[in-house]
Structure 1
Amino acid sequence: MKCLRIYATSDGESHFDEIELPTTKMSVHPDAVPFDVTTSYPASRVRLTHIPAGMREVSWHTVPDPNFTIRLDGSVEYETSDGEVRHVPAGTFVLVEDTHGKGHLSRHSPEAQTVIWISLPNGLELPPT
């Protein structure tokens, strides 16, 4: 399962990456068809955010701790300090890990949005590729 990632290097510059979250086939009950499920990741808190209509741009910022964001509606355009821009539609989840440095810029779609933030206490430990 692919996931967009925003991270910062030791020099404080932010960048995008696409990572692969490993999955296994799993059934939720004996009669269910198996589907792809990732491993369980520890979360320290979950927040629901309502971004009001008309909030267009959030200035350069970092995140206080690594987190997954899942946009339920609307969209966002992220820009990293290296100048790259990515459009993220509703239904996409993003691993945001730029806890230091210059941070990233967020440009929101004009309509109101609901976003789920899942804080990861130690980031996301993935098996080596």
Structure 2
Amino acid sequence: MKYYKLYTDAAGESHWDDIEIKVEERSFAPPAQAIEVSQPEPVKQTLFLRLRSGWNEPVHPTPVVQRLVCLAGAIRVTASDGDFRDIGPGDVWDMQDKIGKGHHTRVTSDQDFEAVIIQFE
């Protein structure tokens, strides 16, 4: 498993990094069998998000460190360095570019983009 991490360097430029998720087999819900699971991360809140088809926002940084899990539709997110990721159903995007130039997001699918947002701060 992996997720896409968007972060800002010391010069304020945003960049993408593909992060592999480390999972290990352990007992998660006894008495069920052991499963492969990652380490837990504390979170602050969870939200649901919808961006209508055709939506195209101005460039901005993320307001808080948060993780998006796409449920439906597709977006293209472009970092300030020009690199982009196409985010679709099942993809996970970790937003850490709170400062600097930020990123641009637009809905690329004919259907609305729907996601779950998990905020860490």
TM-score with structure 2 setting the length: 0.89
Residue 29 (structure 1) aligns with: 30
Residue 18 (structure 2) aligns with: 18
Work out the CA distance in 2 between the residues paired with 1:113 and 1:70: 11
Which residue type is aligned with residue 4 of structure 1? Y
SS in 2 for 1:7: strand
User: Post-superposition shift, 1:54?
Assistant: 2.9
After the TM superposition, which parts of structure 1 deviate over 3 Å for at least 4 consecutive aligned residues? Answer: none
User: Post-superposition shift, 1:51?
Assistant: 1.6
Work out the CA distance in 2 between the residues paired with 1:120 and 1:89: 22
User: Post-superposition shift, 1:95?
Assistant: 0.7
**RMSD across aligned C-alpha pairs, in angstroms?**
1.5
User: Post-superposition shift, 1:10?
Assistant: 1.3
TM-score with structure 1 setting the length: 0.84
Unaligned residue ranges in structure 2 (runs of 5+): none
Work out the CA distance in 1 between the residues paired with 2:3 and 2:114: 19
Residue 126 (structure 1) aligns with: none
Work out the CA distance in 2 between the residues paired with 1:96 and 1:54: 22
User: Post-superposition shift, 1:84?
Assistant: 0.8
Residue 2 (structure 2) aligns with: 2
Residue 95 (structure 2) aligns with: 96
Which residue type is aligned with residue 17 of structure 1? D
Unaligned residue ranges in structure 1 (runs of 5+): 122-129
**Residues 1:41 and 2:54 are matched in the alignment:** no
